[in-house]
Structure 1
Amino acid sequence: MTAPSVPDKISPFHSLKVLWVKHWTDQLFSFACERPDDFRFRSGEFVMIGLPGENGEKPILRAYSIASPHWAEELEFLSIAVPDGPLTSRLVKIEAGDQVLMGKKPTGTLVLDALTGGERLWLIGTGTGLAPWLSVARDPDTYARFGQVIVCHTVRNVADLAYRDFFTSGIHDDPLVGDEAKAQLTYYPTVTREKFETPGRITDRIRSGDLFADLQLPIGFSPNADRVMLCGSMAMIKETGELLESYGLKEGSNAEPGDYVLERAFVG
C-alpha cells in the first residue's frame, strides 16, 4: 500500500520512506522513516505524522513524539491503532517501503531546555507516552545534566511494555550513552490489569510511597533535587501534575524553565 509521494517543494510536509515496522501487539507498533537532511529537532519534541487523504481528501495528520534522539539518522515513532481511527487504522498497516507524511516543524515542551537543573530526572509516561523518553534517554546531555534518570512506564497489560528489553539492557549497548545509562538510568514499569511485580497506576504508587520505597529513595518529590517530564493519558498528567505541585514543584516551559513539564499538545 505505497502512498503517492508529495513533492516537498510545494507541500508543507516531507514525504518519507518507511524503513521498518515492528508490531508489539495487535494495536501497538513502532516504525521508522528516513530522516530528511535538513530536519533538525531537540530530543523530546513532537511532529505531525500522517498519510495522504483517500479519494482526493486532505491528508490526515496527528501529533507524534519523535522516539529517536536528535542525533539519530532515522526517525522513529511509537503508535497505537485506534479501531476506526481515521489515521491509525490505516497507519497500522504500513510496511517498509511505504510513504508517510511528516510536518516540517518539530516543537514541544518535553525538552531539557524547559527544565531547571536538578539531581534526578523522572520521565513518567503511560502507553505511547513512552515515546519521548526513548529520545531523551538516548541524549548524552541528559546524563550530563542529571545524575540519575528514572523512566516510569505504566500500561494495562504486560505485552504493552514496549521497549522493556531496551530499557532493561539494550540501551547499555548504545554507542553514545551506553556506559552512562548503565550507571545512571533506572527503568520502572507498572501494569494495571495483570499480575506484575509493580502493579497499579503510577499515581497510586506515588501516593502510597511504594515508588520511592522500591527505588530506595526518600518519600516524595523534592523541588531542589527532582525534575519531572509527563506524557500520556490526560488523567495521569492532570493527577501527577497536582501531586508534583503539592510537593512544591512548579511547571516549566520553553520560555520559562521550571521543575516539571508536560506536553499540552496531547492534552484535550
Structure 2
Amino acid sequence: MNDLVSNGMVLEPTAALSVETVTWVHHWSDGLFSFRLTRDASFRFRSGEFVMIGLPSDKKPLLRAYSVASASYDEEIEFLSIAVQEGPLTSRLQHIQAGDQVYVGKKPTGTLVTDALKPGKRLFMLSTGTGLAPFMSLARDPDVYDMFEEIVVVHSVRKVGDLAYREFLESKLTGDPLVEDEAARQFHYVPTVTREEFHTTGRIDALIDDGTLFKGLSGPATFDPESDRIMLCGSMAMIKDLAAKLETFGLVEGANNKPGDYVIERAFVG
C-alpha cells in the first residue's frame, strides 16, 4: 500500500465502514480526479446519494461525504474529487493508486434523488465542479429516462480541463449498457467555462437568463414550474443563488417526504 496514503496503517473494517480497494485512478487536471473502488456485494444506493469515504488517521478514520458517480448497477463504485494540497483528506487522497485501500461508509443517503421530485417532462441537473458526480449516476439510471422526456446535465467549471467526463457526456453516453438508446434521444449536455475561451462561457445563472440553457430542447426557453424539475449540486454559493432564483419562477423545493419541483443536497449546504 502507498504509505503516503495509508501512513503505514493497515485498514480494518468497522461496524460502519467497509474497506475497499482502488482499481482505477484518472486525473482530469491538477485539481480534479476520479477513482474507482471495489464494491461490497451488500452495498446498495439510490442514484444521487452520497456516502462517507476516507483514510486512516492517528486516532480514527478521516472521513468526508462524497456523492457516488457510478451507476447503481455498476460492479464498482466511482467518485469525483478535488485535490486540495492543504486539505486534510484530499491532500492524501489525490495520491491513491490501484491497490490502495479506502474506507467506505455502509449507509449511503441524501436528498438529491428523484424520489424528492414531482413528475415532470424536463429534468435539469445543474452542477459546478465536483457537483457533477451525482448526476453521472443519475444520467445512467434507466428509471430517470422513464420519468422524464428530456434529461439535461449542465456542468460549469473555471477551466476547460476541469470538464470531467466531457467526451462521454458529449457522446450522449455512447457505450452505456442500459441507457445508450434512450440517451441518444433524450440526453442533453451543456458544459460552460468561466475563465477560459470555450464555445459556451458564463455562469449557470447567465445561461438561464439569456436562454442558452434551453437551446435544442422542447418546451419554453425558461423554467416552467408545471413540467420542469431541477437538481442543484456544487458550491454552496451557487446552490443558494440558484435556489433563490428558482423560487422566483414559482418552483418549490422538494424532499424525500414531500416531493417538489427542485432539490439540493441539504447535507452539503446546511
Question: CA offsets per residue over residues 107-155 of structure 1, 9 Å max, x none?
Answer: 0011111111000000110000000000000000000100100000000
Inter-partner Cα distance in structure 2 for 1:191 and 1:59? 36
Q: 1:41 aligns with which of 29, 39, 45?
A: 45
RMSD (CA atoms):
1.4
Q: Structure 2: which 5+ runs fail to align?
A: none
Q: 1:197 is matched by which residue type in structure 2? A: H
Higher mean alpha-carbon deviation, 202-211 vs 117-126, is at 202-211
2:143 is paired with a residue whose SS is: helix
Which position in structure 1 is the counterpart of 2:185? 183
> How far off is 1:212 after superposition?
2.4
**Residues 172 and 188, structure 2, Cα contact 8 Å, conserved in 1:** no
2:103 is paired with a residue whose SS is: strand
Question: CA offsets per residue over residues 11-48 of structure 1, 9 Å max, x none?
Answer: 42111100110011111100000000111110110000
Q: 1:57 aligns with which of 36, 56, 59?
A: 59
Which position in structure 1 is the counterpart of 2:123? 121
Structure 1 residue 20 and structure 2 residue 59: aligned?
no
Which position in structure 1 is the counterpart of 2:162? 160
1:58 is paired with a residue whose SS is: coil
Q: 2:206 is matched by which residue type in structure 1? A: D
Structure 1 residue 6 and structure 2 residue 11: aligned?
yes
Question: Identity, % of aligned pairs?
Answer: 59
Q: 1:141 is matched by which residue type in structure 2? A: D
Inter-partner Cα distance in structure 2 for 1:149 and 1:49? 29
Q: 2:11 is matched by which residue type in structure 1? A: V
Which position in structure 2 is the counterpart of 1:173? 175
Inter-partner Cα distance in structure 2 for 1:77 and 1:137? 15
Inter-partner Cα distance in structure 2 for 1:5 and 1:141? 40
Q: 1:115 is matched by which residue type in structure 2? A: L
The number of aligned residues is 265
Question: CA offsets per residue over residues 55-102 of structure 1, 9 Å max, x none?
Answer: x33211111000011111100000001121000000000000000011
Which position in structure 1 is the counterpart of 2:203? 201
Q: 2:42 is matched by which residue type in structure 1? A: D
**Residues 5 and 15, structure 1, Cα contact 8 Å, conserved in 2:** no
**Residues 6 and 14, structure 1, Cα contact 8 Å, conserved in 2:** no
Inter-partner Cα distance in structure 2 for 1:209 and 1:170? 22
> How far off is 1:196 after superposition?
1.2
Q: 1:15 is matched by which residue type in structure 2? A: V
Inter-partner Cα distance in structure 2 for 1:142 and 1:221? 19
Inter-partner Cα distance in structure 1 for 2:97 and 2:189? 30
Q: 1:87 aligns with which of 69, 86, 89?
A: 89
Structure 1 stretches of 4+ moved >4 Å: 213-217
**Residues 11 and 101, structure 2, Cα contact 8 Å, conserved in 1:** no
> How far off is 1:217 after superposition?
4.8
Which position in structure 1 is the counterpart of 2:105? 103
2:97 is paired with a residue whose SS is: coil
Higher mean alpha-carbon deviation, 190-199 vs 213-222, is at 213-222
1:236 is paired with a residue whose SS is: helix
Inter-partner Cα distance in structure 2 for 1:213 and 1:42? 30
2:18 is paired with a residue whose SS is: strand
Inter-partner Cα distance in structure 1 for 2:266 and 2:209? 24
Q: 2:194 aligns with which of 192, 195, 219?
A: 192
1:90 is paired with a residue whose SS is: helix
Q: 1:45 is matched by which residue type in structure 2? A: E
**Residues 128 and 233, structure 2, Cα contact 8 Å, conserved in 1:** yes
TM-score (norm 2): 0.94
